[in-house]
């Protein structure tokens, strides 16, 4: 190790320069900085849309870094081995990264930290992905929170760390290690026909995220509280894809949101409460990682959900249930890589209750289709809707997808935006679903609209009966 040994900034879900404690630590050390991304088995296993979106984010970050005289080095392989190789090649003396909180990442990172430290490499992990580290928020009795409202009350008056400005120049190492080209990795390969269509809806990169937050706080935040449940309206921040990849920090949303509270009052406060739902999801995942794979409430084990990919499940995935709200939402996701929160609840309720399909089947489909895929929020959202999660909606709250149109899309703007069939001149959004859908699905806008898969009343009764039987058996 030389006295001016480089520091490796190992980039994972923190694709930004500003308000990035790991990067700031690297730059302020005064050492040359080597930004490194490693496509390891964990990232290689991402679903089609998240992997595609990660690729876009990495390309953008690479551009940003090269405009500042630095470089983003791309390598693939086992993260521990690659880090060791790059350390050997460059004489790097330290590694920094931003923490992740899912069990697989924690296990990998812990092993790497121990291994590198044993070899005399300085390793430091930093926060930055969450407002509050999950282990710093606890109940009065010293345990984890299982209910959102007390969690919110516990954090709402805390001050998360101040914002860090974009650090100064990243000084370059004497020579750069070799790098793959991210475009050669074909991160969007599994998107099949959908890549270009979804791409047009993505808002990629740190600057785009900052602009979006500014625009939202200037305008839509004032109507957020009243209109955030109406999927045809642009009343939410749409920042989840940027948060998912770390193109913006939750701290920025918090501090700017706090400032906005002085002007738009309730809207901004409600927005911050939603940002804290994300924190709550991470709190749950950190303290009870089984939320990702098992019923959070074990009393749901053995409930009569089916886990098979039946034709009904395929119809749900393909926006062909015959129920407009459900199909509009599923198509919205296929075209944009995102879905409105109200729609997520409706399609999840329809799958787990009307169709009696296991929430894991839906969670996995979302993990393949969402550009804002987030392990914690996705698992919490599915278990919340299914009834098996902490602080969940009761199982007997079964959304009626027809009634939800009357309440949240009474003028059917959302439905028209996404369902082409039956419209003489469907909007581009609705038609583009048929361009994105794989040819093997055999769909065309000229076909008759799908007939309802199931009678809503009968489906509801079947679900409630199964629920009653399960409870009395339990
Ligand atoms: P805004 O309303 O502007 O909220 C601001 C931020 O707060 C969001 O970007 C998000 O980070 C956070 N947030 C808002 N609502 C929630 C919530 N209910 N749970 C957790 N965080 C929230 N969100 C994801 O980011 N990734 C997922 O994979 C995901 N899967 C979901 C699956 C289901 C079944 C359900 C019901 C919800 C899921 N959510 C997920 C939560 C929520 O739907 C999205 O975060 C929200 O729609 C994003 O839109 P927005 O950025 O405009 O949110």
Tens of pLDDT, residue by residue over 366-387, are 999 999 999 999 999 999 999 9
Please indicate if the annotation marks 406 as binding a ligand.
no
In what order do the strands lie in the sheet containing 94-98?
73-76, 33-39, 7-11, 94-98, 122-126
Nearest CA to ligand 1 atom 46: 341
Sites in the chain below the pLDDT cut of 70: 1-3, 264-265
Which residue's CA is minimally distant from atom 4 of ligand 1? 274
Residue having the nearest C-alpha atom to atom 25 of ligand 1 = 240
Pocket test for ligand 1, best of 226, 231, 243, 377 (most atoms within 8 A of CB): 377
Instruction: Give the predicted TM-score (pTM) of the model.
Output: 0.98
Minimum-distance ligand 1 atom for the alpha carbon of 238 = 52
Whole-number pLDDT of residue 193 = 86
* 3-class secondary structure per residue, the chain: CCCCCCEEEEECCCCCCCCCHHHHHHHHCCCCEEEEEEECHHHHCCCHHHHHHHHHHHHHHHHHHHHCCCCCEEEECCHHHHHHHHHHHHCCCEEEEECCCCHHHHHHHHHHHHHHHHCCCEEEEECCCCCCCHHHCCCCCCCCCCCHHHHHHHHCCCCCCCCCCCCCCCCCCCCCCCCCCHHHHCCCHHHHHHHHHHHCCCCCCHHHHHHHHHHHHHHHHHHHHHHCCCCCCCCCCCCHHHHHCCCCCHHHHHHHHHHHHHHHCHHHHHHHHHHHHHHHHHHHHHHCHHHHCCCCCHHHCCCCCECCCCHHHHHHHCCCCCCHHHHHHHHHHHHHCCCCHHHHHHHHHHHHHHCCECHHHHHHHHHHHCCCCCHHHHHHHHHHHHCCCCCCCCCCCCCCHHHHHHHHCCCCHHHHHHCCCCCCCCCHHHHHHHHHCCHHHCCCCCCCCCCCCCCHHHHHHHHHHHHHHHHHHC
Q: Which residue has the tokens 């405009």?
A: 67
pLDDT at 2: 42
Q: What pLDDT is attached to residue 3?
A: 56
Q: Is 279 a pocket residue for ligand 1 (Cβ < 6 Å)? A: no
pLDDT of residue 1: 41
Question: Which residue has a Cα nearest atom 50 of ligand 1?
Answer: 238
CA of 206 to the centre of ligand 1 (A): 19
Complex ipTM, two decimals?
Answer: 0.99
238 ligand 1 Cβ < 6 A: yes
Those residues whose C-beta lies under 8 Å from the C-beta of residue 377, and which sit 6 or more positions away, are 240, 277, 278, 281
Quick one: which atom of ligand 1 is closest to the CA of 242?
9
Q: Is 346 in the pocket of ligand 1 (CB under 6 A)?
A: no
Ligand 1, atom 44, lies closest to the CA of 341
> How far apart are the CA of 104 and the centre of ligand 1, in A?
22
From CA 77, how far away is CA 121, in angstroms rounded? 20
Give yes or no for a contact between 85 and 40, defined as CB atoms under 8 angstroms apart: no
Residue whose entry in the numeric block shows the structure tokens 């002007």: 263
Instruction: Check residue 263 and give its pLDDT.
Output: 75
Q: What is the pLDDT of residue 474?
A: 73
Residue 305 assigned as binding residue: no
Nearest alpha carbon, ligand 1 atom 13: 274
Rg, the chain, Cα only: 23
User: To test ligand 1's pocket by mutation, which of 341, 345, 365, 387 has the most ligand atoms within 8 angstroms of CB?
Assistant: 341
Q: Is 348 in the pocket of ligand 1 (CB under 6 A)?
A: yes
Atom 2, ligand 1: residue with shortest CA distance = 236
Task: Report which of 132, 116, 47, 56 is spatially closest to residue 80, judged by C-alpha positions.
Answer: 116
19 is in an annotated binding site: no
Residue 304 near residue 310 (C-beta atoms within 8 A): no
In 3D space, the residue among 440, 207, 232, 436 whose CA is nearest the CA of residue 324 turns out to be 232
Residues 6+ apart with CB under 8 A from 457: none
How far apart are the C-alpha atoms of 271 and 304, rounded to whole Å?
A: 37
Evaluate: CB of 233 within 6 angstroms of ligand 1: no
CA of 119 to the centre of ligand 1 (A): 41
State how far the Cα of 123 lies from the Cα of 105, in Å rounded to an integer: 16
Q: Which two tokens stand for residue 204?
A: 């990629």
372 Cβ below 6 A of ligand 1: yes
Q: For 8-47, what is each residue's pLDDT tens digit?
A: 999 999 999 999 999 999 999 999 999 999 999 999 999 9
| Residues 51-106 pLDDT 10s | 999 999 999 999 999 999 999 999 999 999 999 999 999 999 999 999 999 999 99
Instruction: Give the integer Cα–Cα distance in Å for 129 and 151.
Output: 18
Q: Is 225 in the pocket of ligand 1 (CB under 6 A)?
A: no
Take atom 17 of ligand 1 and give the residue whose Cα is closest: 277
Neighbours of 85 (CB within 10 A): 14
Nearest-atom index, ligand 1, CA of 348: 34
- Residue 192 has a pLDDT of 85
């Amino acid at each position: 190790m030389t006295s001016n040994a480089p520091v490796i900034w190992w980039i994972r879900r923190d694709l930004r320069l500003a308000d990035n404690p790991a990067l700031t630590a690297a730059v302020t050390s005064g050492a040359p900085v080597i930004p490194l991304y490693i496509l390891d088995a964990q990232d290689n296993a991402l679903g089609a849309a998240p992997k595609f979106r990660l690729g876009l984010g990495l390309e953008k970050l690479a551009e940003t870094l090269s405009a500042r005289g630095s470089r983003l080095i791309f390598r693939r392989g086992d993260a521990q081995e690659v880090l060791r190789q790059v350390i050997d090649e460059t004489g790097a003396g330290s590694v920094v990264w931003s923490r992740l909180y899912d069990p697989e990442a924690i296990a990998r990172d812990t092993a790497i930290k121990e291994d590198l430290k044993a070899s005399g490499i300085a390793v430091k992990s930093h926060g930055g992905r969450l407002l509050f580290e999950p282990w710093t928020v606890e109940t009065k009795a010293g345990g984890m929170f299982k209910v959102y409202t007390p969690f919110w009350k516990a954090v709402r008056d805390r001050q998360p760390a101040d914002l860090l400005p974009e650090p100064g120049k990243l000084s370059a190492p004497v020579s750069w290690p070799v790098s793959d080209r991210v475009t050669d990795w074909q991160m969007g390969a599994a998107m099949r026909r959908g890549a270009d269509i979804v791409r047009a809806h993505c808002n990629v990169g740190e600057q785009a995220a900052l602009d979006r937050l500014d625009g939202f706080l200037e305008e839509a935040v004032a109507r957020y509280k009243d209109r955030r449940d109406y999927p045809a309206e642009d009343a939410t921040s749409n920042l989840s894809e940027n948060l998912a990849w770390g193109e913006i920090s939750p701290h920025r949303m918090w501090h700017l949101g706090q400032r906005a509270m002085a002007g738009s009052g309730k809207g901004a406060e409600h927005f911050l409460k939603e940002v804290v739902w994300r924190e709550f999801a991470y709190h749950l995942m950190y303290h009870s990682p089984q939320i990702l794979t098992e019923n959070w409430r074990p009393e749901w084990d053995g409930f009569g959900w089916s886990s098979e990919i039946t034709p009904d499940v395929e119809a749900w995935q393909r926006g062909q249930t015959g129920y407009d709200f459900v199909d509009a939402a599923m198509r919205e996701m296929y075209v944009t890589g995102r879905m409105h929160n109200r729609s997520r609840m409706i399609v999840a309720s329809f799958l787990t209750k009307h169709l009696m399909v296991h929430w894991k089947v839906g969670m996995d489909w979302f993990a393949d289709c969402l550009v804002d895929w987030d392990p914690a929020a996705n698992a919490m959202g599915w278990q919340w809707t299914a009834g098996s999660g902490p602080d969940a909606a009761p199982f007997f709250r079964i959304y009626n997808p027809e009634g939800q149109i009357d309440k949240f899309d009474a003028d059917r703007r959302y439905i028209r935006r996404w369902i082409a069939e039956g419209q003489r001149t469907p909007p581009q959004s609705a038609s583009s679903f048929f361009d994105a859908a794989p040819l093997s699905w055999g769909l065309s806008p000229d076909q008759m609209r799908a007939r309802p898969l199931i009678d809503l009343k009968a489906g509801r009764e079947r679900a409630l009966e199964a629920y009653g039987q399960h409870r009395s058996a339990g």
